[in-house]
Structure 1
Amino acid sequence: MEDASNTYAPGDESPAASGSSYAAPTPAPDPDIGRRAFRQALIDARLLYASAVDGIYGRSGLFESIADGLNAAISKLGADQHAEVMRFPPAMPRRDFEASEYLKSFPQLAGTVHCFCGSDRDHHRLLARLEQGEEWADQQRPTDVVLAPAACYPVYPVVAARGPMSAEGMVVDVLTYCFRHEPSIDPARMQMFRQREYVRLGTAGQIVAFRQVWIERGRQLAGMLELPHEVDLANDPFFGRGGKIVADSQRELKLKFELLVPINDGAPPTACMSFNYHMDHFAHAWPLRTADGEPAHTGCVGFGIERLTLALLRHHGFELAKWPRRVRETLGGL
């Protein structure tokens, strides 16, 4: 087992990890102080490997062993869902991305894939710009591929292509790296990160019941990991002036909840799980239909694998041998 050479001891002002809820820490004058301190501690301990771009990190073997343990614990918690397992690369067809209307709501987060498509002369022009330190990216063109912004997005066109679902609907277990363009020195706000999701497709009643079950299971998992937490109403970061109206509506309809864990001293707690009800939004993007031909409703529970890993390191330290036995057993005996 790889071990970290340094340790990180959570500050005395942090809430007790044994509780199921916590009192939010008093914000520091500059919340970035806590973010930078934790980030540097992770890098010094060689748990994360920094790059020249904020939010892009390499992961150590120890970090990955914790992530693997989390995925195993989530699989055990969801064993009774009899979910169909789907795994996708961190990219999806641009046509499906456009159909999802992601650009309508979150253009600031989207990432597209561009490639060189020019002639030999164009190549020489590109190389000349590169050698002179000039901008060269305009020599590339958009491809038919974009980076997946959420793990569940590739699921919907696959299911829709099958035709109407059974009366029971279905549950899909999906895991992939996702991309969101939000550079930050906060180690819990990575640009490339893993989402593990259980996606529920069916009727409105089935989705609401599914979400309530997973809110309770999310609390259960956080308790087993001995992480201080609370579940609160939330909204997505919709873009622009109109986005505030959409966000307010999302909160009014109580479509999104998050499980929050304090990770950075002096900063607000971080969303480590989310519980979402999309209503029939995706049935208008793709022909998702219930057994009676009606537009299907969808919802999902999402687990931020990197964020949960960081939360464990933040509250239990960098030496796994000193972690609580219950936590290690939950993660498969680390």
Structure 2
Amino acid sequence: MEREAAQAELRARLIEAGHLYPQPYQGLWAFGGDFEAVLAGVERQVHLMEPLQGVRQMTFPPFLGEREFVATGYMNSFPQLIGSVDVFTGDNREHRKMVAAKDAGEDWTTYLTPAHLDLVSAPCHATYPMHAGTTLEEPVKYEVSSRCFRHEPSDDPMRLVSFRMREKVCFGTPEAAVEHRELGMRVGPELLRSMGLTIEVEPANDPFFGRAAQIFAQGQLDAGLKYEFVCKVYGDENSGTALGSSNYHNDHFGLDFDVHVPGGGLAHSSCIGFGLERVTVALFATHGMDVSTWPADVRAVLGLSSDEQSA
């Protein structure tokens, strides 16, 4: 089956089963009770990943201040994905004009101004500014989560505009960052396979823009900076979808945020991340729409039992 047809079929099954509820914007969905129960089980397993426990846990808001967002370099590399927040700061007169424009079917958003807040694309981006201008005496490790935004509207239920991600982050010496990435390449696929998913580990090549496209596009593959945990949700005849990844950023964030390690070198970083909705959709695609019929070992891993399923 062609990929587009396979996407439409899976989307229809998820909607019919009450797991997904379409919203009036492409790529936005509401989720049913069973979907959320499975997602909670996935997130719990990411939290319990061995030997990646005992790190500092943090949950971040879905925004970064403009200065911090710009410093991540995301705007230079992925302009097609970014989103920013606009707000109304005018007086009564400006408000009347805005309402009149709305009533006339005109573009009322021209009366809004930037709030200098940008939507987070990955939770790890919020950790690096916390250490700006410092020297890390020893590597710091975080387990972080946030709602994220990437402007790539699609009807594919595996590709959402707003989604949840959980990551394990290491910021410190090059050796510590590489060790963390290597660990992620091993335990990340193991975690997903424990849920009954068929996973392949593949090198990734992100669609960089601007100067980063020249520097990283091929180099990312050659240097093995990013490896994705890929599941063939839409059949072997179609390319797989990444459910997570293990990434080595080199000294990118150390340079951007002026973070060093003892001896004066720039801090290096790596992260292991999972898209929680993606994993959850892959589980329904693999095991079926009725959670009570899933293999007992999968339900046990996710902390589910038939009497816990919502109506």
The reply to whether TM is greater than 0.5 is yes
What is the CA–CA distance in structure 2 between the aligned matches of 1:172 and 1:89, rounded to whole Å? 15
The answer to whether residue 286 in structure 2 is matched with residue 320 in structure 1 is no
The answer to whether residue 176 in structure 2 is matched with residue 206 in structure 1 is yes
SS in 1 for 2:156: coil
Amino acid at match of 2:282: A
Which residue pairs with 2:222 in the alignment? 252
User: Residue 136 of structure 1: which of 108, 113, 127 is its match?
Assistant: 108
SS in 2 for 1:134: coil
Which residue pairs with 1:263 in the alignment? 233
Which residue pairs with 1:65 in the alignment? 37
The answer to whether residue 239 in structure 2 is matched with residue 239 in structure 1 is no
Which residue pairs with 2:98 in the alignment? 126
Q: Is the 8 A contact 2:260 2:266 kept in 1?
A: yes
What is the CA–CA distance in structure 1 between the aligned matches of 2:136 and 2:32, rounded to whole Å? 41
- By relative contact order (CA 8 Å, sep 6+), the higher-ranking structure is 1
Q: Which stretch has the larger CA shift, 286-295 or 121-130?
A: 286-295
Amino acid at match of 2:258: P
What is the CA–CA distance in structure 2 between the aligned matches of 1:197 and 1:267, rounded to whole Å? 27
Q: Is the 8 A contact 1:81 1:171 kept in 2?
A: no
Which residue pairs with 1:45 in the alignment? 17
> How much identity, in percent, do the aligned residues show?
36
SS in 2 for 1:109: coil
Q: Which stretch has the larger CA shift, 273-282 or 74-83?
A: 74-83
Evaluate the alpha carbon distance shift between residue 244 and residue 80 of structure 1 in structure 2; reply closer, same or farther with a 3 A threshold: closer
Amino acid at match of 1:58: A
SS in 2 for 1:64: helix
Amino acid at match of 2:165: Q
Q: Deviations over 1:82-136 (max 9, x none)?
A: 2111110111111100111111100110000001122211111111111122211
Output the TM-score relative to the length of structure 2: 0.93
Amino acid at match of 2:190: Q
The answer to whether residue 93 in structure 2 is matched with residue 111 in structure 1 is no
What is the CA–CA distance in structure 2 between the aligned matches of 1:277 and 1:50, rounded to whole Å? 35
What is the CA–CA distance in structure 2 between the aligned matches of 1:279 and 1:200, rounded to whole Å? 11
What is the CA–CA distance in structure 1 between the aligned matches of 2:5 and 2:16, rounded to whole Å? 16
Amino acid at match of 2:300: E
Evaluate the alpha carbon distance shift between residue 112 and residue 264 of structure 1 in structure 2; reply closer, same or farther with a 3 A threshold: same
- CA drift at 1:242: 6.3
Runs of 4+ in structure 1 deviating by more than 3 angstroms, as ranges, are: 78-81
What is the CA–CA distance in structure 1 between the aligned matches of 2:104 and 2:238, rounded to whole Å? 42
Which residue pairs with 1:102 in the alignment? 74
Q: Deviations over 1:163-196 (max 9, x none)?
A: 32233x1210000011000011101100001110
Amino acid at match of 1:41: R
Report matched runs for 1:84-95 at 5 Å.
84-95=56-67
* Gaps in structure 1 of 5+ consecutive residues: 1-27
Evaluate the alpha carbon distance shift between residue 102 and residue 202 of structure 1 in structure 2; reply closer, same or farther with a 3 A threshold: same
What is the CA–CA distance in structure 1 between the aligned matches of 2:173 and 2:94, rounded to whole Å? 53
Which residue pairs with 2:268 in the alignment? 297
Q: Is the 8 A contact 2:231 2:282 kept in 1?
A: yes
